[in-house]
Amino acid sequence: MALPKPATRVRDKTPFQLQRAEKIYEMHVLGRSTRRITAELTSPGPDGAAPPFAHLDRGTVMRDIAAERQRRVEKHGERAEEHRADSIAAYGLIKQQALADEGGSHLFAAIKAQERIDRILGIDQPVKLDLRLNDLWAKVDAGLLSLGDDQR
């Protein structure tokens, strides 16, 4: 007989839980360990005031760090995608205006705009490095350049 399926509904965090997760994440980013975070947030204040988060354990601290990190990744990821789309649109307009120039004097701007669009999309071609190895080997063969094996 199969066991009943556990509840898959996830409750939204309360404002108190969101505030706690943000505080814990900020402490984590500043380099505090989970043990130290737990100790600082569960111990009473210097004047004997109640601790800000009295019932807190390391598991909750680790879950809050992971959840807040994920929330921030999603938040900043959406912004990055929006910014990327805006940049592509702006460079597209620059390219379009440069190509519309009848004198052809802005052709370089159109090429640079297309290169920037390709770089944003991640489809730019690798840069070719001209190392002139044949020239170096010719100098080595002629005795004008040593490979450094005999130098110490």
The separation between CA 11 and the C-alpha centre of its own chain, rounded to angstroms, equals 28
Q: How confident is the model at residue 50, as a pLDDT? A: 84
Predicted confidence at residue 9, as pLDDT, reads 67
Instruction: Identify the pLDDT of residue 133.
Output: 65
User: Is the whole-model pTM more than 0.75?
Assistant: no
Q: How many CB atoms lie under 10 A from the CB of residue 113?
A: 22
Domain ranges in the chain are 15-141
At residue 152, the pLDDT reads 44
pLDDT, residue 66, reads 92
In tens digits, the chain (152 residues) has pLDDT values of: 667 666 666 788 899 999 999 999 999 988 999 999 999 999 887 888 888 888 899 999 999 999 999 888 888 887 888 888 888 899 889 888 888 877 767 788 888 888 888 888 888 666 655 556 677 677 777 877 565 555 44
pLDDT of 145? 59
Distance separating alpha carbons of residues 104 and 98, to the nearest angstrom: 8
Residue 8: both structure tokens together: 């898959």
d(CA 72, CA 18): 12
What integer pLDDT is reported at residue 13 of this predicted model?
A: 86
